[in-house]
Amino acid sequence: MVVGASERAQEGFADAELLAAMRAGNSAAFAALMRSNNQRLYRLARGFLRDDLEAEEAVHDGYVSAFTHLDGFRGEGSLATWLARIVSNEALGRLRRRRSTVDIDEIADTLAPDDGPLTIAPPTPEQLIATREIRNAIEKAVDKLPPYFRSVFMLRAIEQMSVEETASYLGIPGDTVKTRFHRANKLLRHALTIQLGTIFDDMYLFLGGRCDRLVATVLQHIGVSAETSSTVRHCDRPAPCRTPS
C-alpha cells in the first residue's frame, strides 16, 4: 500500500518527536522505535542471512550503529527506512565476510531454468493439517532463494510492502524490485501456490521474549537506562511507533 501525503506528514512529525526524545536519552523513545521495527528488520536481515541468530545479531548491531550516530539521520526518509538501510548494510557485510561475492544473475540462471520451477517434496495429508509443519516447509523453500531475491520476497510477500516501499527500504530501483520478486516467485511457485494466502503472517516471527531481549540488550549497549515496568510494552505483535510522553 502506498503511503499518502498526510500519512507521510504524520510519520515525519512522529519521527521528529522520537528523534528529539532519543537525543535526550529517553529510553522509552529508543524502545518504542525498536518495538515498532523489530520484526520487519529481523525478517529483512534473515532474508539475506538465512540464520536466525545471525539475523538477530545484525539487527542488534544495526541499532547500535544507528543509535550511536543519530546525527547521521538527515530526515530524507523515515526513521524506519533509515534503520532498514543500516540493517541491510550490516547483513550484506556479514554475507560478504561469510563467502566471496557471487553474481546474482548467475545464481538465478542456475536455480531457475526455463524448464521448471524449484520444487520441494509435497506434504503428506498429515502435514496439510499441521500448520506448523507446512510453515516450516515454506520457510525452508524461502531459505533456498538467493539472498537478494530473499530480501525482496520477505518485504513484498511476507511484510506485504509495496514496490515503492521495498525499493526505498533496500535502496534499489523499483524495476529491480519487480524483477527480483518475479524471479523469487518463479522459484517458489510450485511449492507455495496453494499456501500463499494464509500462512505468511506467522512466518519468521520476532515477538515476545525475543523482541524484549533485543530491546534490553541494545539499550544496555548504548548506555541508556532500561525501561521501567510502567513503560514496558511487550512485543506480542508489531505495533505502530508511539511517541513517549
Q: What domain range includes position 56?
A: 5-221
Evaluate whether residue 237 is within a structural domain: no
The predicted structure's pLDDT at residue 36 = 94
Does 76 score more than 70 pLDDT? yes
pLDDT above 70 for 74? yes
Q: What is the mean pLDDT of the chain?
A: 77
pLDDT in tens, 155-191: 998 888 999 999 998 989 999 999 999 999 888 876 5
What cell numbers appear for 199 in the block?
500462512
**Residue 85 in this model has a pLDDT that exceeds 50:** yes
Residue 244 forms part of a structural domain = no
In a domain? residue 226: no
Give mean pLDDT, residues 211-218: 93
- Could you tell me the pLDDT band of residue 95, with boundaries at 50, 70 and 90? confident
Residue 242, in any domain of the structure = no
Q: What is the pLDDT of residues 113-132, one digit of tens each?
A: 444 454 555 544 544 454 67
Confidence of residue 55 (pLDDT cuts 50, 70, 90): very high
Q: Which residues contact 133 (CB under 8 A, 6 or more apart)?
A: 123, 126, 127
- What pLDDT is recorded for position 149? 92
pLDDT for 242 beyond 70: no
Enumerate residues 6+ apart whose C-beta is below 8 A from 138. 191, 192, 195, 199, 203
User: What confidence category does residue 5 fall into, taking pLDDT thresholds of 50, 70 and 90?
Assistant: very low
User: Three cell numbers at 220?
Assistant: 544496555
Worst-scoring range by mean pLDDT, 68-72, 78-82, 194-198? Answer: 194-198
What is the number of structural domains in the chain? Answer: 1
Tell me whether residue 227 is in a domain.
Answer: no
- Is 96 part of a structural domain of the chain? yes
pLDDT at residue number 121 = 57
Task: Calculate what percentage of the chain has a pLDDT beyond 70.
Answer: 66
**Mind giving me the DSSP string for 25-43?**
T-HHHHHHHHHHHHHHHHH
DSSP string, the chain: -PPPHHHHHHHHHHHHHHHHHHHTT-HHHHHHHHHHHHHHHHHHHHHHH--HHHHHHHHHHHHHHHHTTGGG--SSS-HHHHHHHHHHHHHHHHHHHHS----HHHHHHHHS-TT-----PPPPHHHHH-HHHHHHHHHHHHHTS-HHHHHHHIIIIIS---HHHHHHHHT--HHHHHHHHHHHHHHHHHHHTTTHHHHGGGSS---HHHHHHHHHHHHHHTT-PPPPTTT----SS--------
pLDDT reported for residue 135: 75
Higher pLDDT, 134 or 109: 134
The answer to the question of residue 236 being in a domain is no
Distance CA 116, CA 75 (A): 45
